C-alpha cells in the first residue's frame, strides 16, 4: 500500500477561472494597480455594508497605515494581545508608539478586556485586538470600552474575513478593520491586505499613504503631502482576490463543517484542549482560519516539537500560532518576562495547528484524528 499524500496544514483553493483571469490581466498591458483594484475594493465594500475599503500589499502594511490614520505617534501607547502575529506589535513600534501587551482569555484566546481596562492610561491612544483564528472578540464590550476612554480601535481581522458578530459581518461596523489575503488566510490574493475605513476622507488619506504621499494638483502636476510609502496592490492580485471573494461563503462553510468534525471526533487519551466552538447560537460567526487545540503537555512524555515531528513522519503538516510576542527578543527589551501573561504563555507553549482548508475531505480529518489518538496514547506519561 502506498503512503497517503502529504497533507499540509493550509492550502489555498485556486480554480481555473482564477488562472484565466490572471492570464487576461497579464495580456492586457496593465498589470499593476488599476481597474481590477477598484473592482476588488468595491466588491469588498459590498460585503461590509458599503463602508469604504482600500487594498494594499499586505495586512502588515494595512496595519501600519491604520496606525497613521488613527493618529498614533511617538509617545503614545497601543494595547494589543501578546497572543497574536508579530505584525501587530511590530507596526506599533514602527509608528513610534509603545506596544502594551495584555493577556488573552484562556477560552477564546482573544484580548482580555477587563485586563485591558486596567492598562488604559493617559498615553493610551488605541487598542489593536486580534480576532483569534477567525473567532470575533466580544465586539459590544470592546467598543463600549473604547467609547468610554475615547480610544481608536484597529481590529486585526487578518484571520476573520467572513466572520460575524450577532449576524453583522466583521468590518461592517466599528472603527478601522484590517484583513489579510496571504495564502494561508480564508481568502487570498497571493499577498495582499485591506483596510475598512470610516469615511471618504480616511479613504483618500489611505490612497496617499499607500502611494508615495502623492496628491494630484489641478494643473496636472504632483504634490507630495506626506512622506508616504509604497504599498499598492497590483491588478494581477486583485483578480485573484475577486474570484476568491465570490467563493468565500462556500469556503467558510466548508471550514466550519471540518472544524465541527474535528471537535466531534478528537477524543484522545489524554484529551486535547479543543478550541472555542464559537459563541452559543452564533457558531456561523466563526470563520475558522485555524483549528488549534492545546497539547496536554503535563500528561505527556513527548515535547511539542516531537509531537509535530511524529505528524510530519505520518505525512501530516502542522503549524504553530503563535509564539508569545512579549517573550521575543524585540519585546523583552520593553521589560516583559515569562510569567507576566500566563494564558498567552500556556497557549504559546502548547498550541498546535492542525490541517484545515476548504478542499480537505472528511477522510483527511479522520486521518488527522487517528494520528492524534495514536501519538498521544503512545506517549502518555
Ligand X SMILES: *Cc1c(COP(=O)(O)O)cnc(C)c1O
Which positions are catalytic?
A: 185
Min dist. Cβ of residue 148 to ligand X (A): 25
Using CB under 6 A, which of the segments 34-42, 80-88, 239-247, 256-264 binds ligand X? 80-88
Burial class from Cβ neighbours inside 10 Å (0-12, 13-18, 19+) for residue 335 reads: exposed
Sheet containing strand 176-180, strands side by side = 53-56, 193-196, 176-180, 152-156, 124-127, 77-81, 98-102
Nearer to ligand X, 151 or 158 (CB): 158
CA angle 330, 333, 334 (to 5 degrees): 105
CA 362 to mean position of chain CA atoms: 25
Nearer to ligand X, 184 or 268 (CB): 184
Using CB under 6 A, which of the segments 79-87, 254-262, 291-299, 310-318 binds ligand X? 79-87
Min dist. Cβ of residue 59 to ligand X (A): 3
Q: How many residues bind ligand X (CB under 6 A)?
A: 14
E strands in the chain:
53-56, 77-81, 98-102, 124-127, 152-156, 164-165, 168-169, 176-180, 193-196, 214-216, 222-224
Per-residue cell: 75: 509617545
Nearer to ligand X, 18 or 90 (CB): 90
From CA 102, how far away is CA 345, in angstroms rounded?
12
Residue 305 near residue 339, CB atoms below 8 Å = no
Min dist. Cβ of residue 111 to ligand X (A): 12
Query: Which of 109, 182, 261, 326 is the binder for ligand X (CB under 6 A)?
Result: 182
Nearer to ligand X, 179 or 307 (CB): 179
Site string for ligand X, 142-161 (x = CB under 6 A): --------------x-xx--
Query: Which of 81, 134, 169, 193 is the binder for ligand X (CB under 6 A)?
Result: 193
Does position 84 bind ligand X by CB under 6 A? yes
Using CB under 6 A, which of the segments 85-93, 167-175, 352-360, 369-377 binds ligand X? 85-93
Min dist. Cβ of residue 250 to ligand X (A): 22
Query: Which of 45, 47, 58, 80 is the binder for ligand X (CB under 6 A)?
Result: 58
Torsion of CA 66, 285, 184, 309, to 10 degrees: 120
Residue among 91, 153, 103, 90 at smallest CA distance from 124? 153
Nearer to ligand X, 76 or 156 (CB): 156
Does position 87 bind ligand X by CB under 6 A? yes
Site string for ligand X, 106-145 (x = CB under 6 A): ------------------------x---------------
Sequence-distant (≥ 6) Cβ neighbours of residue 233 within 8 angstroms: 33, 37, 40, 55, 56, 57, 189, 192
Per-residue cell: 22: 490572471
Residue 181 near residue 157, CB atoms below 8 Å = no
Sequence-distant (≥ 6) Cβ neighbours of residue 35 within 8 angstroms: 235
CA 167 to mean position of chain CA atoms: 20
CA 238 to mean position of chain CA atoms: 19
Residue 18 near residue 36, CB atoms below 8 Å = no
Nearer to ligand X, 33 or 130 (CB): 130
Nearer to ligand X, 125 or 182 (CB): 182
Does position 180 bind ligand X by CB under 6 A? yes
SS3 63: helix
Min dist. Cβ of residue 131 to ligand X (A): 8
Q: Which residues bind ligand X (CB under 6 A)?
A: 58-60, 84-85, 87-88, 130, 156, 158-159, 180, 182, 193
Amino acid at each position: 500500500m502506498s503512503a497517503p499524500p502529504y497533507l499540509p496544514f493550509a492550502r489555498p483553493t485556486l480554480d481555473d477561472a482564477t488562472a484565466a483571469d490572471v492570464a487576461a490581466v497579464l495580456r492586457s498591458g496593465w498589470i499593476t494597480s488599476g481597474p481590477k483594484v477598484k473592482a476588488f475594493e468595491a466588491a469588498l465594500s459590498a460585503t461590509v455594508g458599503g463602508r469604504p475599503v482600500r487594498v494594499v500589499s499586505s495586512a502588515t502594511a494595512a496595519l501600519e497605515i491604520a496606525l497613521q490614520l488613527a493618529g498614533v505617534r511617538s509617545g503614545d501607547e497601543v494595547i494589543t494581545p501578546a497572543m497574536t502575529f508579530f505584525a501587530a506589535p511590530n507596526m506599533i513600534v514602527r509608528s513610534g508608539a509603545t506596544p502594551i501587551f495584555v493577556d488573552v482569555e484562556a477560552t477564546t484566546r482573544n484580548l482580555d478586556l477587563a485586563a485591558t481596562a486596567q492598562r488604559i492610561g493617559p498615553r493610551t491612544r488605541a487598542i489593536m485586538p486580534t480576532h483569534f483564528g477567525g473567532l470575533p472578540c466580544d465586539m459590544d464590550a470592546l467598543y463600549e470600552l473604547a467609547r468610554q476612554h475615547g480610544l481608536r480601535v484597529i481590529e486585526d481581522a487578518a484571520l476573520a474575513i467572513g466572520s460575524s458578530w450577532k449576524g453583522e459581518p466583521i468590518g461592517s461596523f466599528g472603527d478601522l478593520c484590517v484583513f489579510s489575503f496571504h495564502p494561508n488566510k480564508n481568502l487570498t490574493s497571493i499577498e495582499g491586505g485591506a483596510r475598512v475605513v470610516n469615511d471618504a476622507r480616511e479613504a483618500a488619506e489611505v490612497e496617499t499613504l499607500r502611494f508615495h504621499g502623492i496628491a494630484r494638483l489641478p494643473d496636472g502636476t504632483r504634490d507630495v503631502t506626506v512622506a508616504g510609502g509604497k504599498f499598492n496592490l497590483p491588478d494581477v492580485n486583485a483578480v485573484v482576490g475577486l474570484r476568491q471573494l465570490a467563493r468565500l461563503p462556500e469556503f467558510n462553510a466548508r471550514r466550519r463543517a471540518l472544524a465541527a468534525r474535528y471537535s466531534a471526533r478528537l477524543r484522545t487519551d489524554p484529551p486535547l484542549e479543543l478550541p472555542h466552538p464559537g459563541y452559543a447560537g452564533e457558531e456561523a460567526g466563526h470563520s475558522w482560519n485555524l483549528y488549534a487545540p492545546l497539547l496536554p503537555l503535563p500528561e505527556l512524555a513527548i515535547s511539542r516539537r516531537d509531537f509535530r515531528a511524529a505528524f510530519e513522519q505520518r505525512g501530516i503538516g502542522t503549524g504553530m500560532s503563535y509564539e508569545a510576542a512579549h517573550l521575543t527578543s524585540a519585546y523583552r527589551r520593553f521589560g516583559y518576562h515569562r510569567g507576566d501573561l500566563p494564558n498567552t504563555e500556556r497557549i504559546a507553549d502548547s498550541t498546535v495547528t492542525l490541517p484545515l482548508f476548504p478542499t480537505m475531505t472528511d477522510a483527511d480529518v479522520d486521518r488527522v484524528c487517528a494520528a492524534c489518538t495514536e501519538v498521544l496514547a503512545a506517549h502518555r506519561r
